[in-house]
Amino acid sequence: MKKVLVTGGCGYIGSHTIIDLIDNGFEVISVDNNSNSDLKALNGVHEITGQRVKNYTVDLCDYEKTSKIFQNEGFDGVIHFAALKSVGESVGEPLRYFDNNITSLLNVLKCCKEYEVNNFIFSSSCSVYGNAKDLPVTEATPFQEAECPYARTKQMGEQIIRDFSFANKNTQSINLRYFNPAGAHESALIGEASLNAPTNLVPVITETAIGKRDSLTVFGSDYDTVDGSCVRDYIHVMDVASAHTKALQYIIDGKNDTNCDVFNLGIGKGVSVLEAIQAFEKVASKKLNYVIGDRRPGDVVSIYASMDKAKSKLNWETKYDIEDIMRTAWKWEMVRTETVLQS
């Protein structure tokens, strides 16, 4: 059984990926400082899989504590999710984002080199493309100027990993550029539950629908899109999770052609903010209270993926569409709200 370190394992995508890893025979160790996550996510993982995942409550910016985890455990691979991720927050606090996201990545890579952990998967983002000139974007699409410091940390992270892999020939790395993960596990035992107020569209939609927010603001109505609102490629979180497991197995099995590769993860279809709202209203049979606001700094106008490479190389395909995303997200929102009310 291969042992994998998942950084940010208590977070949204990390916890869902842990489920997929366990389902595919991996032993998983988590590290998460819980600055924007909750250990309760691993309770949900336990209920779903029957496996109790060990978590180290460590800040990866602390090299000595990070190194001890590698020394204690011995890993066959690392999937690195841990990072600050709010677009708007990064615009206001760029130094915090550079310090946290880059320092933590460097420390993990140093440990991979020191303890000879040669399989590395990086949680990148479609934000690396900026305002791409041609759609859909492929893995060969050139990077444009980053629209926010968060996106720049992902661009820098990929470049660091590429240089690291070039210098360390035994390292096999993959940068997974996923688009807009959303939805929740079908069981509704885990879902998106950051400690800070969410800024991603889907949880904002469900929080508005259930009454935690008075209304939702659609940022911008004059973009050059189908209805004037921003267009994104929304992908179900369990499809994203599956891709991480397949990518890790891909390099463990030595199927990769290069020791630093990249894959897009998306549905391959652009959905506008207003179309996403309509999809929610359809599956929830509920009207959403929203208002049209000004454009938001840092937002890309329109982006969606070509997934041909991931399909052909990783043998990966999406199973969920935008309505499945909204259905599972709404189920999760109702379950966790009811749980809070009962406690």
Question: How many separate domains does the chain show?
Answer: 1
Nearest CA among 338, 54, 320, 321 for reference residue 188: 338
Full domain range(s) for residue 37: 3-183+236-266+308-318
CATH number for 19: 3.40.50.720
pLDDT at 337: 85
Higher confidence at residue 225 or residue 339?
A: 225
* Active site residue ranges: 150
In a domain, 332, yes or no: no
Q: Considering the domain boundaries, does residue 204 fall inside one?
A: no
Residue 342: what pLDDT?
A: 63
> pTM above the 0.85 mark?
yes
Indicate the pLDDT class of residue 275, thresholds 50, 70 and 90: very high
Q: Write the CA distances from 240 to 14, 20, 323, 326, integer angstroms.
A: 10, 10, 16, 16
Whether residue 191 is contained in a domain is answered as no
Which of 90, 116, 86, 266 lies closest to 176, judged by CA? 266
Structural domain contains residue 72: yes
In a domain, 114, yes or no: yes
pLDDT value of position 198: 83
The backbone region for 301, taken as left when phi is positive above 0, alpha when psi lies in -120 to 50, beta otherwise, is alpha
Residue pLDDT, tens place only, 90-119: 999 999 999 999 999 999 999 999 999 999
The pLDDT tens digits for 129-151 are 998 888 899 999 999 999 999 99
Is pLDDT above 80 for 79? yes
- For residue 262, the model assigns a pLDDT of 98
Indicate whether 222 belongs to any domain: no
Pairwise CA distance, residues 16 & 181, whole Å: 11
Report how far residue 256's alpha carbon sits from residue 40's, in angstroms, rounded to the nearest whole number: 36
Q: What is the pLDDT of residue 1?
A: 87
Q: Is residue 337 part of a domain?
A: no
Inter-residue contact 230 to 223 (CB < 8 Å):
yes
In a domain, 225, yes or no: no
pLDDT at 341 over 70: no
Average pLDDT over the chain reads: 95
How much is the pLDDT for 296? 87
Q: Is the pLDDT of residue 343 over 70?
A: no
User: What is the torsional sign of CA 192, 194, 197, 199?
Assistant: negative
pLDDT in tens, 158-172: 999 999 999 999 999
What pLDDT, in 10s, does the model give residues 225-267? 999 999 999 999 999 999 999 999 999 999 999 999 999 999 9
